[in-house]
Amino acid sequence: MKKSIWTILLVAICLVFSLGCQIKGRRRKSSYEDKVVYTTVNIRYNLQRNKASYIAYKDLTLLPVNSKVQITNVLTGGFKMKIPSGQVISVFYKEGWGGKPTNEIIPLLFSETDISAELSQFTETEKKGIKLGKALVGMSKKAVIVALGYPAFHRTSSIDQDIWTYWKNRVATYHLEFENGKVIDI
Rg from Cα positions in the chain: 19
152 vs 24: CA distance, rounded Å: 20
40 vs 69: CA distance, rounded Å: 11
Predicted TM-score (pTM) of this structure: 0.80
Which residues in the chain belong to E strands, given as ranges?
35-39, 43-46, 51-53, 61-63, 68-75, 78-82, 88-92, 110-111, 163-167, 173-179, 182-185
105: how many CB neighbours lie within 10 A of its CB? 21
Which pLDDT value is given to residue 7?
41
69 vs 79: CA distance, rounded Å: 12
> To 5 degrees, how large is the angle CA 88–CA 41–CA 60?
55
pLDDT per residue, tens digit, the chain (186 aa), is 544 444 444 444 443 333 344 444 455 566 778 899 999 999 999 888 888 876 667 778 899 999 999 999 888 778 899 999 999 999 887 665 566 777 788 888 999 999 999 999 999 999 999 999 999 999 999 999 999 988 877 778 888 999 999 888 878 889 999 999 999 988
Which pLDDT value is given to residue 117?
93
